[in-house]
Amino acid sequence: MNDDSTGASRGGRPPGGPLRDRFADEPHAVMERINASIGFDRRLYAHDIEASRAHCDMLVARRIIPEADGREILKGLDKIEEEIASGAFAFSPALEDIHMHVEARLTELVGDAGGRLHTARSRNDQVATDLRLWVRDAIDETRAALASLQETLLTRAGEHAATIMPGFTHLQSAQPVTLGHHLLAYFEMFDRDRSRLADCRRRLNRCPLGSGALAGTSIPIDRDMTAEALGFDGPTANSMDAVSDRDFAVEFLACLSLVAVHLSRIAEEIVLWSTAQFGFVSLPDALATGSSMMPQKRNPDAAELVRGKAGRVVGALNALLILLKGLPLTYSKDMQEDKEPVFDAADSVSLCVAAVTAMVADMTVHAAAMEDAAGRGHATATDLAEWLVKELSMPFREAHRTTARIVRLADSKGVAIGDLSLDEMRGIEPGIAAEAIDALGVRDSVSSRASHGGAAPERVRRAVDEARRRLAET
């Protein structure tokens, strides 16, 4: 017989957990397994407790709960925070999630007062608040880590403002540049990433707490007070939106995806540059790995893993978008699946930023090999075309054609364009003077590119100073 006597025989407590008062039967084993999120959402504990403190203070201030109960609740929350931080806290899947764990332990510790904390609150506005607080901290941490990577890029760019290297398009020699200029390109990417994360934070910073399950509450709460206590700019405007909105998490993952893509690009360059074929840099022993079979190997595993983890981060963004697509308002349990991708992407990016920072800081640069490579592939042909434009007032199209003929001549003789004689060049364009050949050296070529944002060492030095100012300001 299925009657109320089961509950009654347990002193009125529900079978299978505190939320089952309306049920007669215990949950199926699989129900508990699929329902529980405590395995991962315990990471929200500090934010959950912080939000509970703010909620409690507000309930007391509005005389919704007695002051004495408020004091007990705060004491209990302190104790729970300590227990979880020290590892002494007992977690159980029967209590589903972090919110129920904190509440159940609170009631154990302080009795009936604990049961008052959930006044005018639902786990729906609670989890929306906790996750916003968690993501907000993660944004701050990611921005700080990126700033230190940028700092490292500036240090190396300053050291190598005049170190010549080949610049590539299509991974074919294009024009000589400097390593400093190349590294500053990454400074810009990470600067945009930091700015995007700051935008995301600005939009995220509204407090859902007090939205209730979906429709607000009849209890006379003060949402501005809780919002302010938690460092938000104010409460969210619509209770239904507040409990179902995860845009902030999507935006965060979009920002992280782009960070991961940028990291994977510099990682790929480190992989290429550290090959015997390029020979531009070497990673220190501490940042390389060996092979189990080939004794000579020195593998850039960290760089490869940074490249690989980008897929995982972009995957997290996809997972969240697909999770939210088509969900009716307001909260659905699907949304419990939002946390793991957010945590995993944040962890992966944090690790990758640290790995790239270490590789950029500690890689040894082989300046001679870089400069040597910079001269290959007629990389200064554009300089000859520009000389024809500047000195002979030739239309650029014609200069391009003339230079292409000179390149062909050099190729047919198996030499670099700079090694052709003046007479050989004049055979193609009689106006060419000896200075044109001087302009074909890689150093002259790079120094001449002094336009705003260009690769000339003088420019790069100024760009490093300017970037340093920008980094200090934002």
Is 124 one of the binding residues for ligand ARG (CB under 6 A)? yes
Q: How many residues bind ligand ARG (CB under 6 A)?
A: 10
Q: Which stretch binds ligand ARG (CB under 6 A): 121-129, 147-155, 254-262, 343-351?
A: 121-129
Is 130 one of the binding residues for ligand ARG (CB under 6 A)? no
Residue 327, token pair as written in the block: 């969900």
- Closest among 393, 239, 251 to 316, alpha carbons compared: 251
Is 41 one of the binding residues for ligand ARG (CB under 6 A)? yes
CB of 328 to ligand ARG, least distance (A): 14
Query: Are the C-beta atoms of 252 and 190 separated by less than 8 Å?
Result: no
Is 138 one of the binding residues for ligand ARG (CB under 6 A)? no
CA distance 459 to 202: 34
Q: Convert 109-145 to b/e letters by CB count within 10 Å (16 or more is b).
A: bbeebbebbbebbbbbbbbbbbbbbbbbebbeebbeb
Q: Which of residues 69-98 bind ligand ARG (CB under 6 A)?
A: 97
Is 320 one of the binding residues for ligand ARG (CB under 6 A)? no
Determine phi and psi for 18, rounding to 5 degrees. -70, -15
Beta carbon nearer to ligand ARG, 134 or 186? 134
Is 331 one of the binding residues for ligand ARG (CB under 6 A)? yes
CA distance 395 to 399: 6
Q: Which of 170, 292, 393, 451 is catalytic?
A: 170
Q: Is 264 helix (H, G, I), strand (E, B) or coil?
A: helix
CB of 105 to ligand ARG, least distance (A): 16
Beta carbon nearer to ligand ARG, 327 or 422? 327
Maximum C-alpha span of the chain? 109
Q: Please select the residue that binds ligand ARG; options are 65, 95, 127, 467, rule is CB under 6 A.
A: 127
CA distance 113 to 109: 9
DSSP designation for 334: G
CB of 337 to ligand ARG, least distance (A): 8
The beta-carbon contacts of 232-239 under 8 Å, at least 24 apart in sequence, are 232/132, 232/205, 232/206, 232/207, 233/205, 233/206, 234/206, 234/207, 235/206, 235/207, 235/208, 235/209, 235/210, 236/206, 236/207, 236/208, 236/211, 237/206, 239/125, 239/211, 239/212, 239/214, 239/215
Residue 313, token pair as written in the block: 């981060």
Query: Are the C-beta atoms of 252 and 342 separated by less than 8 Å?
Result: yes
Beta carbon nearer to ligand ARG, 152 or 244? 244
Beta carbon nearer to ligand ARG, 321 or 361? 321
Beta carbon nearer to ligand ARG, 186 or 331? 331
Catalytic residue status for 52: no
Is 239 one of the binding residues for ligand ARG (CB under 6 A)? no
CA distance 342 to 78: 27
Beta carbon nearer to ligand ARG, 47 or 181? 47
CB of 445 to ligand ARG, least distance (A): 59
Q: Which of 9, 291, 332, 421 is catalytic?
A: 291
CB of 106 to ligand ARG, least distance (A): 17
Is 193 one of the binding residues for ligand ARG (CB under 6 A)? no
CB of 122 to ligand ARG, least distance (A): 7
Is 335 one of the binding residues for ligand ARG (CB under 6 A)? yes
Catalytic residue status for 292: no
Helices (H), 160-230: 179-204, 223-229
Is 336 one of the binding residues for ligand ARG (CB under 6 A)? yes
Residues at the site binding ligand ARG, with contacts judged by CB under 6 A: 37, 41, 97, 123-124, 127, 331, 333, 335-336
List active site positions: 170, 291
